[in-house]
Chains A and B, each alone.
Chain A
Amino acid sequence: MTGMERILTTASHREPDRVPLLLFPTLHGARELGLTIENYFSKAEHVVQGQLRMLERYGHDCVNGYFHVALEAEAWGGCTIFREDGPPNAGPPPLTADAIATLEPPRIGDQPGLRRVLEAQQALRRAVGDAVPVLGAVISPFSLPVLQLGFERYLDLIFDRPELMQRLMEVNAAFCVQWANAQVAAGAHAVSYIDPLASPLMIDPALYRRFGAPVAKKVIAAIAAPSAVHLASGPCLAVLEDLVDTGAVMVGAGEEDLATVKDACRGRITVVGNLNGIRMRSWDEAATLAAVRGAIDAAGCGGGFILSDQHGEIPWQVPETTLTVIADAVREYGRYPLPGGRG
């Protein structure tokens, strides 16, 4: 099976030849090419080369056409702070609540950083065709304000000025749909809808249901490709019915019991997860094998499961040898049918 066939089979809740693996070493491509992270992300061709080299090295089931979240902050007037040993970070939040009343969504074509992402996705699609999925990503309208306003001012806005909150959701939704569909047009087969604030760890589920879930449903329906809702390590179980209701076909499992998540999702929405990237830094081979086996045992049976990390980004500090062990272990231990009907 190709990676695409493997993903499509598991997403239809059937067992492919083996458990699919979505590996997200978004920064490791820089190391592959001997570049700094800042230099790596400065040109689309770097990311294309990095992704293709890693596809060859690990043989996983996707290429990642998304660079980093700070680019979306840039589109709203923010800046990116690069560092040598980790993901680019968004600088000070660029907006204030008072700007929301007249705020308009930025145009994708006016944003050099976003154009670079589209350029990379076009090239990746040309390179891999439909053999493996090219993945795009957007930050949800409900979570983007953390970068636009800062988390505190965002929470203040929700509680103190709900009418402006509604206005911000409308503006962000317009941008999000535009950005997602630009990626689909460029070549992305699927879009990750990154919504960490959907997690009950972050936001009262009642607030998510009032503001975040309606906008998620509206935006995901307008995206011209399948979407995966990802809570970036946050637990999803308490809002799982809401996430299923968004129309997403996959959900990222965070720091929570994977078997319980799989049981709740079985036959309805595919589970993606949930290796702990922070702990992964210090795993030896035995610990890596144990983590992969544990995840497959917990969630592999019957399809509807893709092995991945829980955050959607493998930390820079995770060595390549560990990623190789993960990829080899999936091929070895994740072959269907799983012995003893595990998971």
Chain B
Amino acid sequence: MVTSCYSGTAADCPYSSPVLLLESALIGMDRRGVQRIHADSGLSPLSFCEQVIAPALTVIGEKWDRGELSLSHVYMSGRLCEEFMEEVLGGRLESAQERRPVALAVLEDYHLLGKRLVGFVLKGAGIPYLDYGTVGVQELVRRTQRDGVGVLLISALMLPSALKVREVRDALDRLGMECRIVVGGAPFRLDPALHREVGADVSCDTASQVLPALAQLWEGES
């Protein structure tokens, strides 16, 4: 059972040896290394996720943001972590806290890498989420209302899709839904003011930034 979530700020987590070792193993595509680091840590699988995997993915995301690593590193690191978790947890994730669900969607695009990267990070941190896949505005709003989503994570690859977030925001507001919107994707990286224009609460430059974004939004709710 997940009892807490990693705050999402790499600086909050001491660069303990397992985190550094895992980062190195992930960048080196060392599957056996991941298992060995887990075994040596003495941590339960879920504690390993919270205390080692999530910080390591965050460090890798930060390095990508600084231009020190590539998206291919971020993807393969996430994929290795997902494989590890499937192996040791069978993909089970349970939320310890009573929160309205988190949902993840791609708006009007069939290129899903960004969503997958965010999914890796959420799984790595032990945060369950609803995967809406590729959806249009109306369908996204319908599902968000149906599921009582508290935080909606939207990935957009192209500018017109990014601008559609405004329609999602307005529709949710008309329905009186208190749903926070977190956005990410190339248009938001290239224009830091864009997320405010479309009514999103937070913009994330990297997939791993979704963790501090969630922590911030949840803190505001409590």
Q: Do A and B come from one complex?
A: yes
Count residues on chain A whose CB falls below 8 Å from chain B CBs: 37
Measured in the bound complex, the distance between the Cα atoms of B163 and A282 in whole Å is 13
Measured in the bound complex, the distance between the Cα atoms of B116 and A155 in whole Å is 12
By beta carbon, the residue of chain B nearest A199 is: B70
By beta carbon, the residue of chain A nearest B134 is: A92
| CB of A147 to closest CB in B, whole Å | 9
Q: A92 — which chain B residues lie within 8 A by C-beta?
A: 110
> Which among B67, B72, B113, B159 is the interface contact of A317 at CB below 8 angstroms?
B159
Asked whether A279 lies within 8 Å of B191 as measured between CB atoms, the reply is: yes
Report the contact-size class of chain B (Cβ under 8 Å from the partner): 20 to 34
Asked whether A155 lies within 8 Å of B75 as measured between CB atoms, the reply is: yes
Q: Decide if A267 is an interface residue (CB 8 Å cutoff).
A: no
| CB of B119 to closest CB in A, whole Å | 11
Q: A235 — which chain B residues lie within 8 A by C-beta?
A: 67
Q: Considering the complex, which residues of chain B in the window 174-213 have a beta carbon less than 8 Å from any beta carbon of chain A?
A: 186-187, 189-191, 193-194, 197
Q: Decide if B2 is an interface residue (CB 8 Å cutoff).
A: no
Tell me the dominant secondary structure on chain A's binding face: loop
Measured in the bound complex, the distance between the Cα atoms of B161 and A316 in whole Å is 13
Known: A151-B113, A204-B72. A86 touches B159 (CB 8 A): yes
Q: Considering the complex, which residues of chain A in the window 71-92 have a beta carbon less than 8 Å from any beta carbon of chain B?
A: 81, 83, 85-87, 89-92
Tell me the dominant secondary structure on chain B's binding face: helix
Known: A201-B71, A204-B72, A238-B67. A315 touches B190 (CB 8 A): no
B64, B159, B194, most chain A CB atoms within 10 A: B159
| CB of B96 to closest CB in A, whole Å | 30
Measured in the bound complex, the distance between the Cα atoms of B66 and A235 in whole Å is 12
Q: Considering the complex, which residues of chain B in the window 30-47 have a beta carbon less than 8 Å from any beta carbon of chain A?
A: none
> Which among A86, A233, A238 is the interface contact of B160 at CB below 8 angstroms?
A86
Pull 15 A–B residue pairs with CB atoms less than 8 Å apart, ordered by A: A85-B163, A86-B158, A86-B160, A86-B161, A87-B160, A155-B72, A155-B76, A159-B29, A201-B64, A238-B67, A255-B189, A278-B194, A279-B190, A281-B191, A282-B193
By a beta-carbon cutoff of 8 Å, the part of chain A in contact with chain B is: 81, 83, 85-87, 89-93, 146, 150-152, 155-156, 158-159, 200-205, 207, 233, 235, 238, 255, 276, 278-279, 281-282, 315-317
By a beta-carbon cutoff of 8 Å, the part of chain B in contact with chain A is: 29, 64, 67, 69-73, 75-76, 79, 108-113, 116, 158-161, 163, 186-187, 189-191, 193-194, 197
The 5 A-B pairs of least Cβ separation, nearest first, read: A86-B160, A151-B113, A278-B190, A278-B191, A204-B70
